[in-house]
Structure 1
Amino acid sequence: MELQQLRYVVAVAETRNFTRAAERCRVVQSALSHQIAGLERELGARLFERTSRRVRLTTAGEAFLPAARECLEAADRARAEVAAVAGEIRGRLAVGAIPTVAAVDLPVALRDYRRRHPRVHITLTSAGSDDLIERVRRGEVDVAFLGLPPRAEPKGVRGRRLGGGELVAVVAPDYPRAEEETDLRSLADEPFIDFRAGAAGRVQSDEAFAAAGVRREVPFEVSSAELMVDLVRQGLGVGMLPAAYAPRFADLRVIRLRDAPTRVEHLIWDSRPSPAATAFLDLLAAGGAPGPAGRHLTPDDSPADRPDSTK
């Protein structure tokens, strides 16, 4: 069994097509098919069902695929560790972030990182905090930026609080009420646009309204801040966004809240970060990534020398 055979299996499984898999692996299709057939003979089981219309994993293939990915990741990790000893950072850096991350200017951080370490393959995933925590646990994401209610802590990962902030209400430009500051009770009768119930991005708002002793209606549940903003622009309801993030949408009116919900942003990473991930954490620790309004993160903001938060 060879690593190249494992790469071919993973490529076919992900593309569900031998031709596209061969193009991804930069080999002719006949060579890829020959290698997979040889692996199937060695294993004594077919990994794929092939018809004229589709390619799909067999039961044996579904059992084989996770182990194949683990082997390839271990091989890549081994190469990266050896290169790091020689002073070269290579491999992959998988970053995850909530859509409303504000404590770090993430595009600038990724730009600076790529300039310093051009041989690292960088990917970015945008998702909710709960999903990102699970992806870091599974090793699919190396480093992630979260937003959680003040009392919540990510479990099963290492991490560091980056800072907290209040949420503000955002409304359409022609919103009829004129106040620039109010409280949650005065907004309770308005329809709201928010993330799905139970999501980390929603919990802090629900808890704040509960603490204020009022109930609100959320007829529009969204999965992204962009869709929330689009619905707010149409006057369909009131949105809730971090105060440091809301100014990105200059056409919306911002209403400050005296009893505002709050959230805390976290940086989390795997218990054994790769050389590429460690270099990214080092960049943040060195002040290479500006936060809101150009404020650079200091070593105290960074997790590089901090104990983990695996409470």
Structure 2
Amino acid sequence: MELQQMRYVVAVAETANFTRAAERCRVVQSALSHQIARLERELGARLFDRTSRRVRLTPAGEAFLPAARQALDAAERARAEVAAASGELRGRLAIGTIPTVTAVDLPGALKSFHVRHPQVRITLRVGSSDELAEQVRQSTLDIAFLGLPPDVQPKGVRGRALAQGELVAVVAPGHPLADAADVDLRRLSSEVFVDFPAGTAARAQSDEAFAAAGVSREVAFEITNADLLARLVRLGLGIGMMPAAFAPELRDVHVVELRDPPTRVEHLIWSRLRTSPAAAAFLDVLHIPADQIRERRNTEGTDPRQVPPQGSPESD
């Protein structure tokens, strides 16, 4: 079994197409197909179901893919460790973030890191907190910025809480609530809402607050990014809930402060495995102390829904 074969499997899994995978890996398709077939013979199982229209992982392929990614990440980390020992920082830095992060100036931090370490390849992925936390646990991402309800903390990772803030309602400029004062969740509950998908951490922040207030609401539009939320709100199709620190980023909507607002906590998380030199260097840019970055022993018995206090070094 060779690392190159694993790269080919990952490329096919991510593109669902042998031709596109070969283009990504810069090899001819026949060579890629031959190496995957050779690996399948060695494993004694087919990794992909192939038809003229689609390519998808078999159950064996789904079992193989996470291990292949971890092996490739380990090889990348080994190369980076050797370079770091020679005084040169190289390798990959994969970062994930929610679209409404406000606790740090992420573009500014990325710029500072790139100036200091131009040989490191930076990738950035935007997603939901649940997806990003799982990708950190699987070592697909090195670092992620999350937004969670205040009674929830990410499990299976190291990290720290960055900031806690309130949510506000955002409405169209001509909406009857645009100039209202002393607005609470009960008054909002009769409105139609634009919000993140059910089951996500971003949605839970509001759902739990409305439930605690003893009221229900209608979420007619489920979206995955803040820009689309703002567009639907501007057109008067519904109202939304956004972190107060992020709401000024939205154009042409009116912010309504609430008497009983939902809250969220922003977290920075990284893997419980050995931190790569690039990830450690980025955490240094964010002024995370070195003793918090070092590998720590898991604390058994921690309440998984207890948020660590501001500046807490660990989320297990």
Partner of 1:307: 313
Q: Does 1:194 align with 2:202?
A: no
Partner of 1:165: 165
Taking the aligned partners of 2:207 and 2:139, their CA distance within structure 1 comes to 31
Partner of 1:150: 150
Tell whether the 8 Å contact from 1:232 to 1:238 is kept in structure 2 after alignment.
yes
Taking the aligned partners of 2:139 and 2:230, their CA distance within structure 1 comes to 32
Taking the aligned partners of 2:198 and 2:41, their CA distance within structure 1 comes to 50
Taking the aligned partners of 1:58 and 1:212, their CA distance within structure 2 comes to 46
Change (3 A) 1:43 1:262: closer
Letter of the structure 1 residue corresponding to residue 287 of structure 2: A
| C-alpha deviation, 1:151, in angstroms | 1.9
SS at match of 1:24: helix
| C-alpha deviation, 1:106, in angstroms | 1.4
Give CA deviations for 1:269-300 in whole Å, capped at 9, x if unaligned: 111221111111111017xxxxxxxxxxxx6x
SS at match of 1:251: coil
Taking the aligned partners of 2:195 and 2:233, their CA distance within structure 1 comes to 10
Letter of the structure 2 residue corresponding to residue 172 of structure 1: A
Partner of 1:229: 230
State, as a whole percentage, how many aligned pairs show the same letter. 68
Change (3 A) 1:254 1:40: closer
Partner of 1:111: 111
Taking the aligned partners of 1:16 and 1:177, their CA distance within structure 2 comes to 48
The two structures have a TM-score, normalised by structure 1, of: 0.83
Partner of 2:139: 139
Question: Where in structure 1 do 4 or more consecutive aligned residues deviate above 6 Å?
Answer: none
Partner of 1:69: 69
Residues 232-243 of structure 1: pairs in structure 2 closer than 5 A: 232-243=233-244
Partner of 2:307: none
Partner of 1:292: none
Partner of 2:301: none
SS at match of 1:182: coil
Letter of the structure 1 residue corresponding to residue 276 of structure 2: S
| C-alpha deviation, 1:244, in angstroms | 0.6
| C-alpha deviation, 1:242, in angstroms | 0.6
| C-alpha deviation, 1:303, in angstroms | 5.5
Taking the aligned partners of 1:203 and 1:94, their CA distance within structure 2 comes to 26
SS at match of 1:90: coil
Structure 2 gap ranges (5+): 295-311
Tell whether the 8 Å contact from 1:204 to 1:262 is kept in structure 2 after alignment.
yes
SS at match of 1:145: strand
The two structures have a TM-score, normalised by structure 2, of: 0.82
Partner of 1:278: 280
Tell whether the 8 Å contact from 1:149 to 1:262 is kept in structure 2 after alignment.
yes
Partner of 1:261: 262
| C-alpha deviation, 1:237, in angstroms | 1.7
SS at match of 2:211: helix
SS at match of 2:236: coil
| C-alpha deviation, 1:124, in angstroms | 1.6
| C-alpha deviation, 1:144, in angstroms | 0.8
Tell whether the 8 Å contact from 2:171 to 2:178 is kept in structure 1 after alignment.
no
Q: Does 1:87 align with 2:93?
A: no
Structure 1 gap ranges (5+): 287-298
| C-alpha deviation, 1:52, in angstroms | 5.6
Partner of 1:27: 27
Give CA deviations for 1:86-117 in whole Å, capped at 9, x if unaligned: 22222221111111111112122222222222
SS at match of 1:250: coil
Partner of 2:303: none
Change (3 A) 1:145 1:216: same
SS at match of 2:257: strand
Change (3 A) 1:243 1:86: same
Taking the aligned partners of 2:206 and 2:48, their CA distance within structure 1 comes to 47
Taking the aligned partners of 1:188 and 1:9, their CA distance within structure 2 comes to 49
Change (3 A) 1:50 1:191: closer
Change (3 A) 1:221 1:6: closer
Taking the aligned partners of 1:186 and 1:53, their CA distance within structure 2 comes to 52
| C-alpha deviation, 1:133, in angstroms | 1.6
**How many equivalent residue pairs?**
297
SS at match of 2:176: coil
Change (3 A) 1:19 1:216: closer
